[in-house]
Amino acid sequence: MLYIGVDLGTSAVKLLLMDGDGKIHKIVSKEYPLYFPHAGWSEQKPEDWFTQAMEGIKELVSECDRSQVAGISFGGQMHGLVALDKEDRVIRPAILWNDGRTGAETDYLNQEIGKDKLSRYTANIAFAGFTAPKLLWMKKHEPQNFDRISKIMLPKDYLAYCLSGSFCTDVSDASGMLLMDVKNRRWSEEMLKICGITKEQLPKLYESYEVVGVLKPEVARKLGLSAKVKVIAGAGDNAAAAVGTGTVGDGMCNISLGTSGTIFISSKSFGVDENNALHSFAHADGHYHLMGCMLSAASCNKWWSEEILKTKDFGAEQAKIAKLGENQVFYLPYLMGERSPHNNPDARAMFIGMSMDTAREDMTQAVLEGVTFGLRDSLEVAKSLGLQIERTKICGGGAKSSLWKKILANIMNLKVDVIESEEGPALGGAMLAAVGCKEYPDVETIAGKVVKVVDTVEPEPELVAKYEERYQKFKKIYPAVKELF
């Protein structure tokens, strides 16, 4: 049978067709616009997601035996607020994960409601990108829109609703709303009261691999697929990417160098760090995970190369970098504010340490190192919980750079396993669809079958020591400049 994985990203929807053995038959990508109506705001039109997803699926299945398509599932950008009225019309453009407008609402939740209560209710504290602060912002600034809300959903769940008519979400994606009791995998009554919403406005919760419905007949006709094609809940993009890299079960790690950057650690047991610096979420495998999230990762390198250096040849810019561990230039990677571990939407990027002999390649190197140092901050929090991590998988656009992988292995002092197919959330979505359609009994089984390690980048002791010294200096920069933001 064939399975479709849909990765609803920030810049495009990526669709992947996989068979039951894990072989990828075709990949299609469709872009859509991103809107910045005010400084720090970030929005998209959900209708664009569905239009492009439908076009993408048609192209994806155009050359296959469509009768073999058994299931569709998703990985999707997390935290975005999609609000529908009672006629199922989108009330306003979706407020996205990297939107920074909710500073006041985040402070209200963390300071007045209190971090201790939030952690008790949801296992997490408020971050500007989370969904609950967005609801409070809408309630205050757009009360007429807020009063029209009939359904609250996350981006990928809008696709599932349009495809199947099922008002659903999964526990991994819902964990990032600050509305769910993560430990017990249910909506938090206390948080619903705080946000002024009801359980009826929220979707039904599913595990990521559970079937939520089948294609609507009219949708099936448009796609040329059977109306018996199952729609499976899917997962938040990071959890779906973790499935796609085999980061399931206990004590596995994955680092994603995408638009945002994450360090993702799977666990069979529930846990929360003392300062809530890491997110404690439900995982797509039926268990839990800890995650540190940077708002800008590979997007830092894209910004530096394309907007400042005016080039898209990332490889050429990195080719001249030779002396690792000796760069005197530091870069703070906070272009859009920061989540883990600083939780500061007002933080901004900066270079420090330039001199008259600083070269172009030193600046490029600083960007790659700065992002990695930022991820190391989250790794240190995980280590403080007693987690022993010796190796990590890697995915995302930044993972295509052999230099960046070497930098990461040595700054983190981890073995970096490179997998055969770095298709991230789209592959994870297709794998979840296969589990939902009973091709495999559980997520760990399909991960063991499909995910293959083809190379490992080993840390080098001398370089690890040099980068350890650099990291200790990097750690001091943010506290020193924090008051400037």
How many CA atoms does the CB half-sphere of 108 hold within 13 Å? Answer: 13
Question: Where residue 265 falls among pLDDT bands split at 50, 70, 90?
Answer: very high
The residues that are catalytic are 237
DSSP string, 283-338: -TTSSEEEEEEES-SHHHHHIIIIIIS----HHHHHHT---TT----EEE--BTBB
CA-nearest of 266, 222, 220 to 242 is 266
Question: Where residue 394 falls among pLDDT bands split at 50, 70, 90?
Answer: very high
Alpha helices (H) in 385-452, listed in sequence order: 402-412, 424-436, 443-450
Q: With 80 as the cut, is the pLDDT of residue 422 above it?
A: no
Q: With 90 as the cut, is the pLDDT of residue 273 above it?
A: no
Give 278's DSSP letter. Answer: S
* Residue whose structure tokens are 């396993």: 417
Give 96's DSSP letter. Answer: P
pTM for this predicted structure? 0.87
Q: With 80 as the cut, is the pLDDT of residue 465 above it?
A: yes
Cis peptide before 33 (omega within 30 of 0): no
Question: Where residue 385 falls among pLDDT bands split at 50, 70, 90?
Answer: confident
> 24 and 428 in contact (C-beta within 8 Å)?
no
- CA-derived radius of gyration, the chain: 21
Q: Extract the tokens encoding 468.
A: 């350890």
Query: Percent of the chain, pLDDT > 70?
Result: 100
Specify the length of the chain in residues.
485
> 431 and 248 in contact (C-beta within 8 Å)?
no
78 is in an annotated binding site: yes
Pairing assessment for the beta strands 253-257 and 391-395 based on DSSP bridges: parallel
79 is in an annotated binding site: yes
> What is the identity of the amino acid at 65?
D
Using the CB atoms, write b or e for 58-78: b if 16+ within 10 Å. Answer: eebbeeeeeeebbbbbbbbbb
Domains and CATH numbers, the chain: 2-238 (3.30.420.40), 250-420+452-485 (3.30.420.40)
